[in-house]
Amino acid sequence: MPPMHRTLVWTGKGGTGKTTTVANTGPELARLGYSVLMVGFDPQADLESTFGIDEDDRDVIRVEQLLAGGIDPADAPIEIPVDGAPGRLRLLACSSDLHAATAAVARRGYQDLDRILSAFVDDVDLALIDTQGAMSPLSHTAARAADTVLFCMEPGFYEYRALGRRLAELDSIEREEGWTIAPLGVLFIRAAERSRHMREYRAHFQDEDAFGGESLYVFEAHTRQQNSVRDHPRLAQPTVLAEPASNVAADYRAFAAELVERIAATAQVPA
């Protein structure tokens, strides 16, 4: 694993499993022994709510408070306990107030989150960034802060179309602003292994001629339909967190191991 690797988890439309992927992959990476920082950069704040951090938790230092500077980012992350994990899991949280910072991050050149995350270079192995689905000043800022982008999606036409749009937008922004973000590949979620759609899309992404002139890596690991989830610690309502003993948690465990290998291969360093 390269030092402080930052991965944006994205696709380009709401409801494609970005938050679910971050919330379930983070703990599995910690179980593999890595120091992980989950970054909430979506004013919907679903990632935060998943871990019991709500809008009325006024003692939490939020990302939006760090954007203008003046607060040490190292004081902000919240420790997330993971049973039996030799690694460490933390959450850098936001709230709905992040939406008010949209104009400011654009005015400052979309570089605020990159600056914030630089404070963790010595004690974080991997940052997983959760942001808005559509391209916006906030998701632009999240992309600018990342080394790589992971696309997660259900096998479907609308998800496929949204992914194509995001790739085109990223390519345009990279050329215009002079920075790069490397695609890690595609993770299929909530899909049956023998699904005809998954087989067809897997083949399509790996066909250089069929998808934008360049193939996309497709992770061997994928996640099944998520039926066994943990309840919110306060509201006793289901969240997106898989029960550790469930088949879906095992899917994310396999994906986390493959993700580490893929990042190492992309960065050309040992895992």
pLDDT at 82: 94
The per-residue pLDDT for 45 is 93
Burial pattern 201-230, b for ≥16 Cβ within 10 A else e, equals: bbeebeeeeebeeeebbbbebbbbebeebe
What the block records as the tokens of 62 is 């939020």
- pLDDT, position 80: 96
Taking the chain, what is the end-to-end CA distance rounded to the nearest angstrom?
5
Mean pLDDT per 10-residue segment, the chain (271 residues): 86 76 96 97 93 88 93 96 94 96 95 96 96 92 95 82 83 90 90 73 72 77 73 57 88 96 82 58
- Cα–Cα dist 47/19, whole Å: 6
Residue with tokens 């920082």: 37
Q: Note the pLDDT of residue 3.
A: 79
- Residues 212, 171 contacting (CB under 8 angstroms): no
The answer to whether 186 and 163 have CB atoms below 8 angstroms apart is: yes
CA 191 to chain centre: 19
pTM over 0.85: yes
